[in-house]
Amino acid sequence: MPDPLALSTQARPAAETCLIAARLAADATAIPLPLVLHPRRLDRRCASARALAMYLAHVGLGLPMSRVAAGFGRHRSTVAHACRRIEERRESAGWDRWVAALEDDARRLSPPVGAVGIGAGGIHG
């Protein structure tokens, strides 16, 4: 995985935002970060952790789905599907509280997306 700090200045904020979300999801699910960021689907646990990371980047941190898609090396429709999956599970009170806490953590760790210009770059280069 390329170093997000080595990306262009324009691409850096989106990549950093996705990386923050991915790290939170990895820590919360005990899935290693490289597996959350892996370009292939892998198993259900890895795909679920990745879906959570994409949800946190989009809903929690306000990154547009197209930028989340670029940041995770996925298609925009994949991000939309991931967000729907996570949102559907939020009907469970325990899951909702857990995801809400992760969103709060993400917001504390990341400046608002609108604070700087966002490019179309991604974590995968």
Q: Do the Cβ atoms of 117 and 12 come closer than 8 Å?
A: no
In a domain, 25, yes or no: yes
Which residue stretches of the chain are H helix?
Answer: 12-29, 33-36, 44-55, 65-72, 76-89, 93-109
CATH number for the domain harbouring residue 25: 1.10.1750.10
pTM of the entire predicted model: 0.80
User: In the predicted model, what is the mean pLDDT of residues 61-72?
Assistant: 95
How crowded is residue 47: how many other Cβ atoms within 10 Å of its Cβ?
19
Q: Is residue 118 part of a domain?
A: no
Q: What is the pLDDT of residues 9-62, one digit of tens each?
A: 345 578 899 999 999 999 999 999 999 999 999 999 999 999 999 999 999 999
Largest interatomic CA distance in the chain: 41
Range of the domain at 31: 11-109
